[in-house]
């Protein structure tokens, strides 16, 4: 113990060379080490211009999305993406899910950001701190619609107007496994009525090529090589000939979410964790033949896509009173 006390006393004795070095030099050496650590950390940080597109997208995504009030969010997506691969209703469900489960983004540490460039596409992966969860992995692919060939890291800070001049090509949010991040639970049937109406109208086209393209891949493969047969079956159900004019008038009868109970590890049903398996819709259609028909649809979802998983076209029973006249006796029979 006495040896230790002598050693400590020697270190703090400014009259000795060792004490002088320890008291005056060592603290500055610690400051130098911290400064080198800070520089190393800063080198790993990407420029702010690289993160701004992701920040702007997440800000709009967490504003909440509903029909008629999500124009700024939808304008960020590439037009071809909304036309083919992404449905607005699924994006709205994703926005509601993020707002409920994660909250708004608070911070994106720039030393956690990875970037990659592939031609015109810019890929970014970052660990984002939200209000309710930290370190959530977010991926986004975006393209500069201003036509600039410079990488984001080569540009200066973006203004509020300039940073919105990009199109989102793809995005994905990967929260921690402990979070039940089921987007399907936030689907709203009303968001998909325009999609279903478009399918019903195109189903009676001659030929119904566009309607087949809106089907689930397995159903599409079934009809893609037999579109003429599909058209003939629909005309037969409607009581129409190939020359009859088509003026589709459709009315939505019902639209409801079809839930499927989730199962736990024991295989037991958990109704409180039920997720949406799809949306069922029924339309009453007239103007397509001598008979009105009911079109039943079942919409299903994969990623951000919406497709028609199955459908059924059935003639509406004629409930009007009919009169049958016997040509020989003239006797009339009423059926109704």
> Residue 186 has what pLDDT?
87
Is residue 41 over pLDDT 60?
Answer: no
**pLDDT averaged over every residue in the chain:** 79
255 versus 30: the higher-pLDDT residue is: 255
Looking at the DSSP bridge assignments, the partners of residue 298 are 280, 310
> Residue 160 has what pLDDT?
47
Q: Which strand (E) or helix (H) includes residue 43?
A: helix 26-44
CB atoms within 10 A of CB 239: 14
- Domain at 48-182, CATH class: alpha beta
CA nearest 168: which of 55, 66, 67?
A: 55
Q: What tens digit of pLDDT does each residue of 137-176 get?
A: 999 999 887 655 555 555 544 444 445 578 998 899 988 8
Q: Are 48-182 and 187-315 equal in CATH topology?
A: yes
295 versus 9: the higher-pLDDT residue is: 295
pTM of the model: 0.72
Q: What tens digit of pLDDT does each residue of 99-141 get?
A: 999 999 999 998 888 888 888 889 999 999 999 999 999 999 9
Least confident of 193-197, 204-208, 272-276: 272-276
CB-CB contact of 200 with 248 (8 Å): yes
Domain 187-315 carries which CATH code? 3.10.450.50
DSSP-derived secondary structure letter, 146: T
> Residue 123 has what pLDDT?
92
Rounded Cα distance, 133 and 226, in Å: 51
CB-CB contact of 282 with 308 (8 Å): no
Ranges of each domain in the chain:
2-44, 48-182, 187-315
Least confident of 57-71, 269-283, 285-299, 311-325: 269-283
Is residue 270 over pLDDT 50?
Answer: no
CA nearest 138: which of 147, 148, 149, 129?
A: 129
b (16+ CB within 10 A) / e for 301-320: beebebbbbebebeeeeeee
DSSP-derived secondary structure letter, 78: -
> Residue 159 has what pLDDT?
45
How many helices and strands in the chain, by DSSP H and E? Answer: 11, 11
């Amino acid at each position: 113990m006495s040896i230790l006390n002598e050693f400590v006393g020697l270190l703090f004795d400014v009259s000795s060379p060792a004490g002088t070095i320890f008291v005056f030099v060592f603290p500055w050496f610690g400051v130098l080490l911290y400064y080198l650590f800070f520089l190393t950390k800063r080198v790993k940080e990407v420029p702010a211009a690289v993160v701004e597109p992701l920040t702007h997208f997440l800000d709009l995504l967490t504003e909440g999305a509903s029909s008629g009030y999500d124009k700024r969010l939808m304008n960020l997506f590439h037009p071809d993406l909304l036309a083919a691969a992404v449905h607005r209703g699924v994006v709205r469900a994703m926005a509601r899910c993020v707002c409920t489960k994660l909250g708004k983004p608070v911070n994106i540490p720039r030393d956690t950001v990875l970037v990659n460039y592939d031609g015109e596409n810019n890929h970014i992966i970052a660990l984002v701190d939200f209000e309710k969860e930290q370190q959530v992995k977010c991926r986004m692919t975006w393209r500069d619609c201003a036509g600039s060939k410079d990488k984001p890291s080569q540009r200066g800070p973006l203004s509020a107007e300039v940073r919105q001049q990009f199109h989102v090509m793809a995005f994905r949010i990967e929260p921690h496994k402990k979070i039940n991040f089921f987007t399907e639970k936030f689907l709203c049937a009303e968001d998909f009525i325009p999609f279903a109406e478009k399918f019903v109208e195109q189903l009676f086209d001659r030929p119904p090529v566009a309607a087949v393209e809106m089907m689930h891949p397995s159903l599409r493969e079934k009809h893609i090589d037999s579109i003429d047969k599909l058209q003939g079956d629909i005309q037969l159900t409607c009581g129409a000939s190939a020359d009859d004019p088509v003026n589709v008038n459709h009315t939505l009868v019902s639209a409801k979410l079809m839930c499927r109970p989730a199962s736990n590890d024991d295989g037991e049903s958990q109704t409180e964790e039920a997720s949406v398996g799809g949306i069922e819709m029924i339309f009453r259609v007239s103007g397509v033949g001598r008979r009105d028909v009911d079109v039943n649809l079942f919409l299903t979802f994969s990623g951000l896509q919406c497709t028609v998983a199955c459908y059924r076209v059935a003639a509406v029973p004629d409930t009007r009173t009919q009169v049958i006249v016997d040509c020989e006796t003239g006797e009339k029979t009423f059926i109704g």
